Amino acid sequence: MKIVFVVPDMIGGGTERIVSLLANEYVKRGIEAAVLVFAGNKLEYSLDERVEVVMAGGPSGGNPWIRLKRIRFMREYYRKNRDCAIFAFSVMGAVFSAVATIGEKHWTLVSERSDPNEYEHKWIRDFFYGRADRVVLQTDDVLKSFGRKIREKAVVIPNPVDPMLPPAYKGKRKKKICAAARLEPSKDHKTLLRAFYDFQKEFGDYTLEIYGKGSLEGELKAMTKEMGMDAKVNFHGFCPTVREEIRDHAMYILSSKFEGISNALMETLAMGMPVIATDCPVGGSRMCIKDHENGILVPVEDPKALAAAMKELASDEELSQRLARNAGELRGKFAIERIAEQFLGCMEEERCVSC
């Protein structure tokens, strides 16, 4: 058996991290694995040397001839690997793979990685998802977003956590609040900045550490300056060692308007960090966090509620320690071994149905 993961690129991102974890786990088990990149030429995640990396071409910029050349390349690759299973981790990965395999039969799994309600061309997505043998969704809320045809072949599988996560920090935490996410509108750093502005009026000895890069970087830095918080808000950009950098911080904040399942959220919980997260669609935060048991949930786009939760954590050491202790239990629940087995189980179920 050979599993071919299909992704647009392997730059820093949650989907790419999951693909790298699964591919590495499968080759460790003696299962052939490949990562087919169809719209990029970068590889920023560490892959086992036994994982085959296939580049089907760089970004097309919407050019139809480049896309046709890409599909031809993919078709030739699939023909050379006639027995491979296709694991498409993007809508367009599902589209290109379906077109490239017309007239052939490859067992295909499609994994939805974000809020399906935010996708513009739903009919295209649903048509090609309907052609797959199995559709993997991240939460029960995502399942409810699809019609009956897709729900019948869908299974809910959460993200795994990296087995190389740093251990839980046991010492006194630094007075630093951190966030690690792309600097894009959906992550809603503006609400975070407004909440921190309120928070630091009472807790002036704390700083806000923001990790990530994106299109809003200049705007967010300007907003920080306008609010007079230059000395208290630090932008670190993309940091490959972010987990080691933040493990001793006072709290982690997820301020997103919507998410699939945030890998950064899962990892900080599994590392035993106190966490505050928005209860955003499509239920990923709620799946991981039981409010005031292993983290705190707050409404989306509500800086007052977020600031209140930050103040609560900063002023209650016992609560902070209890949340961190309980959060660390997720490390076992979402271990890569368990999640990888669930993906393989999708194929086994299909074989049983066929029998």
What is the tens place of the pLDDT at every residue in 103-148?
A: 999 999 999 987 788 788 899 999 999 999 999 998 888 888 899 9
**Average pLDDT of every residue of the chain:** 93
- Return all residues near 78 (Cβ < 8 A) that are at least 6 apart: 4, 84, 86, 97, 100, 101, 104, 106
Report whether pLDDT(161) > 80. Answer: yes
pLDDT above 70 covers a percentage of the chain that reads 98
Report whether pLDDT(352) > 50. Answer: no
* Contact status, residue 3 vs residue 84, Cβ threshold 8 Å: yes
Please state the pTM of the whole predicted model. 0.81
At 138 the pLDDT is 87
Q: How far is CA 233 from CA 137, 241, 282, 333, in A?
A: 36, 19, 29, 34
* Contact status, residue 138 vs residue 15, Cβ threshold 8 Å: no
* Contact status, residue 307 vs residue 132, Cβ threshold 8 Å: no
At 349 the pLDDT is 62
Higher pLDDT, 260 or 207: 207
Residues present in the chain in total? 355
Report whether pLDDT(236) > 80. Answer: yes
At 253 the pLDDT is 98
